[in-house]
Structure 1
Amino acid sequence: MQKIVVAVDGPSGSGKSSVSKEAARRLDAAYLDTGAMYRAVTWHALDAGTDLTDARAVAAAVKAADLFISTDPDLELVKIHGTDVTVAIREPFVSEAVSAVATNLEARKELVARQRAIIAAHDRIVAEGRDITTVVAPDADARILLTASEEARLRRRGIQLGGTQSAAELETQVLARDAKDSTVVNFHVAADGVATVDSSDLDFEETVTAVLAAITAQARS
């Protein structure tokens, strides 16, 4: 089949993970959740007792992390030094700390290199995150910014977490994290050549269809 690299960026709660995963299935492609990589190395840093205010220590922890992430869209699996952390990296304590790693430029450089290596190892892949369209894979065959209104994003994240978080906790996980991460990467406005898909008023299937249409249009151009 034709080689294709699809890059998808977007803010928290925009649906980029679930939509990108489904797009990968329909394209018979691999799937890379780069956000899970940041969460995994954050879990590793916390588990190792790393001082997250020490930029050098954080970068060192990230470089030392033995990280495995599944690229099968039907198998969600993340390991650090052989330990399955697939569920643990979604816990609130990781969500609250991940920006300390995501805004560390040396840590980002390390993870970008790993992400590029994973993408290069696959003929067909959909990679999603916050800087895929501009930094990790700026030459991707299709580049998409998936966005949604603040209200929609908070509602979706609340549903995803099973209603276990208060409104204040959701705002911390979604809006506050986006504000911190946006200091090092822009994932709210599409760069030149990047197609925007606004899912605010779309259901899941409509969003997947819109993303696939955008991929087809760019891949043919």
Structure 2
Amino acid sequence: MSNTEATQEHSPEQTLRQGKPLVVAVDGPSGSGKSSVSKAVAKRLGLAFLDTGAMYRSVAWHCLNGRINLENAAAVEAAARTITMEQTMSPDVELFRVNGINVTDAIREPKISAAVSAVATNLGARAELVRRQRALIAEHHRRIVVEGRDITTVVAPDAEARLILTASEEARLRRRGLQLGGTQSAEQLVEQVLARDAKDSTVVDFHRAADGVYTVDSSDLDFEQTVDAVIAVVRQAVNAGPAA
């Protein structure tokens, strides 16, 4: 068998056609583009898509909406365990509901960005959301792109492809500013991107790749180039197979 034939045999596309599992786990800091890039990768590979960050945001929204003190760790954990969360798993449609209420737009508001670390750093709430995330991966027959902050090491350490998508601080701040349409000041962007990362990194390391985890630095790449780079890493990981 030639090298070309071997590569084709083990490519992600071939894996999908054979109905085999293909979990692509993507970690990364705020503003790295992991959500939009992961959606595009899922669409190109025909996979489901799970935005785990939206789950933390949904809990934060529920707490703020229900006047639950985010500093009350037990109350936040209880909220994570008891609320009903629904979300689309298609990369083409974005819809999130909390207890039947459409919160798709609400969870992206700056006040939620400022509050979500209180949920993300709550170990009890985090354990519950990880449980839910693993259940969703299983429900979709392990054919899914999952993005967040502890996906490669905690949620799906056995994923067929694991990578960290990163970028320079300058690039991440610029991208988040463009995403928000210039509505935030430089100070607000630093708070939403760098300060939030600093808080969340107290419970999970999403800046450095663990053993077997690839790194894609998109600082000097445009969107399509980043998507291509991630898919190339997926191919490489699938071709390499599971670690010995």
Q: TM-score, normalised by structure 1?
A: 0.99
2:165 is equivalent to residue 146 of structure 1: yes
Over the matched positions of the two proteins, sequence identity in percent amounts to: 67
How many angstroms apart in 1 are the aligned matches of 2:211 and 2:94?
32
Aligned to 1:83: 101
Pair 1:187 & 2:203 matched: no
Partner SS for 1:75? coil
Aligned counterparts of 2:71 and 2:135: Cα–Cα separation in 1: 29
CA contact (8 A) 1:9 1:146 kept: yes
1:152-200: CA deviation from partner (whole Å, max 9, x where unpaired): 0000000000000000000010001000000000000001100000000
TM-superposed CA distance for 1:62, in Å, is 1.2
Q: State the secondary structure of the residue aligned to 1:96.
A: helix
Which residue number in structure 1 is paired with residue 215 of structure 2? 196
Shift of 1:58: 0.8
Name the count of aligned residue pairs.
221
- Alpha-carbon distance in structure 2 between the residues aligned to 1:139 and 1:23: 19
1:196 alignment partner, SS class: strand
Match of 1:206 among 197, 220, 225: 225
Max radius of gyration: which structure?
Answer: 2
**Which 4+ residue blocks in structure 1 deviate beyond 2 angstroms?**
none
Gaps of 5+ in 2: 1-16
Q: Is structure 2 residue 189 aligned with structure 1 residue 170?
A: yes
Tell me what 1:48 maps to.
66
Cα separation, 1, equivalents of 2:92 and 2:101: 20
Tell me by how many angstroms 1:220 deviates: 1.4
2-structure distance, mates of 1:58, 1:3: 34
Cα-Cα RMSD? 0.6
Equivalent AA in structure 1 for residue 25 of structure 2: A
1:102 counterpart (116, 120, 123): 120
Structure 1 equivalent of residue 92 of structure 2:
74
Structure 1 distance, partners of 2:234, 2:188, is: 34
Contact 1:45-1:62 within 8 A present in 2 as well: no
Counterpart selection for 1:29 from 31, 47, 50: 47
Quote the offset at 1:217 in angstroms.
0.5
Q: Structure 1, unaligned stretches of length 5 or more?
A: none
The normalised TM-score by structure 2 is: 0.90
1:109-165 Cα deviation digits (max 9, x unpaired): 000000000011113100000000000000000001000000000000000000000
